Amino acid sequence: MIRTTLVILLVSAAAPAFGWPTVFPTGTTLYEPERAENGYVLFCPLDNGEAGDTGVLYLINMNGQVVHQWSVPFTPLHGHLLPNGHIVIIGRNNKGATKRPGVGKYHIGGASGWLVELDWDGKLVFKHVDLAMHHDFAKLPNGNYLYLAWEPVPEKLRARIRGGIKGTEFENGVMFNDKLVEIDPQGKIVWEWRANEHMDPDLDIIGPIYRREEWYHGNSVCALSDGHIALTGRFTDSLLVIDRKTGKIVLRWGNAAYLDKKTGRIEYRTGPEILGGPHDVREVPPGFPGAGNLTCYDNGTYTSSSRVVEIDRAGKLVWQSREPNDGRKHYSFHLAGAQRLRNGNTLVCDGANGRLFQITKDSRIVWEYVNPFLLSPKYQGAVFKVHFYGQDYCPRFKDIPPAKGKAVLPMRPESG
């Protein structure tokens, strides 16, 4: 008895020596102007409404200076700046919380409901309300808006959906899945795509760590230059490419779970071509290194180490970011994203940790910014998604402080 007490006391006394610090530097913490792509970054801190029914989106330069901002009367998820200086924002609408997917009885992460467009000065240009809307959107070249929304999985289809944690559906077995909705500038629906009609229960299998409340859990949408549409989905650990004309899924990439047709069992794959809860698929723009390829953020839910991957349109892995062999690796269990830049660098959003950083092709960090706006105790400065804009992207940029600034050296511990 005495020995046991002594061991407990010794362990208790030693524990504080191994604790991580709870205070970290914020703002721009590292910046190499000659190696970084210099431009502006748009982001907003993630909140669950605890900070009130308002939100702010910040545009910063490379030294972390806020050069412009937009305020909205709801909790925003993220926004995208247009070349004319307008900004399109998706955000949370808590109306009808007991009868809709995403909030209340059917709580799901990423619920929104508002899609608005504001001009540079914050004046409302467009507003659309869809209480099934969630996560992401795209402003299309024809002026229309494309967004993700939820709808129920038909009862007959639920039993055929494989994978996930057994018995974790909503009450009475309710499950949701994604649909894509395109609306015109008047808010009229002009096109829809329903995942329930095109996903395959034998191919699109829910990963072993996810609840069966959703089938796909789409979290990003990208309208591709050839007219196809790309999605990332957390629950099936996959990137999908959809033929807009036929609705067929023409590329599936990353699925960890698969059906062994010989045994009828669900098996699981590992390796560089397997994703874990991915986010933020994007197409590399024309003139950029890797033009036409797709990038996405692999959260690494099975490896506890996140990365960025780049694949060609045939589904071949052509590049992935690297972590140091020794030392602390970055890991964002949820949220997060990545964007290829003009000089070949990649902007990474380590979303759960509120850390944005720019890496070279060989994964050297040349710019880092830590979100200083801590709104919610739950999210601790987390960021869902960010967008980078070159210095010549928008004529309005000539009226704000310059993007490029003075070098910032990484903080070093004091000697002694």
pLDDT at 379: 83
Residue 416: pLDDT band with limits 50, 70, 90: very low
Tokens of 375: 């709104």
pLDDT at 23: 73
pLDDT at 94: 83
Tokens of 204: 């699109």
Q: Beta partners for 30?
A: 368
Q: What is the mean pLDDT of residues 101-115?
A: 94
d(CA 374, CA 361): 31
Asked if the model's pLDDT at residue 10 lies above 60, the reply is no
Cβ-Cβ contacts under 8 Å for 161 (sequence gap 6 or more): 153, 175, 201, 206, 212, 215
Any domain includes 157: yes
CA within 13 Å, CB half, 353? 21
CATH number for the domain spanning 314: value is 2.120.10.30
Residue 47: pLDDT band with limits 50, 70, 90: confident
Any domain includes 262: yes
What percentage of residues in the chain have a pLDDT greater than 90?
84
Residue-wise pLDDT for 317-367, tens only, equals 999 999 866 667 899 999 999 999 999 999 999 999 999 999 999 999 999
Tokens of 45: 């801190």
pLDDT at 380: 85
- CA 133-240-200 angle, 5° bins: 90
CA within 13 Å, CB half, 164? 25
Number of domains in the chain: 1
d(CA 215, CA 130): 20
Any domain includes 339: yes
d(CA 174, CA 152): 7
pLDDT at 19: 46
Residue-wise pLDDT for 12-41, tens only, equals 334 344 444 567 789 999 999 999 999 999
d(CA 47, CA 371): 13
Residue 170: pLDDT band with limits 50, 70, 90: very high
Any domain includes 69: yes
- Higher-pLDDT residue of 203 and 413 is 203
Any domain includes 281: yes
Any domain includes 362: yes
Any domain includes 169: yes
- Higher-pLDDT residue of 160 and 94 is 160
Domain coverage including residue 168: 28-399
Any domain includes 302: yes
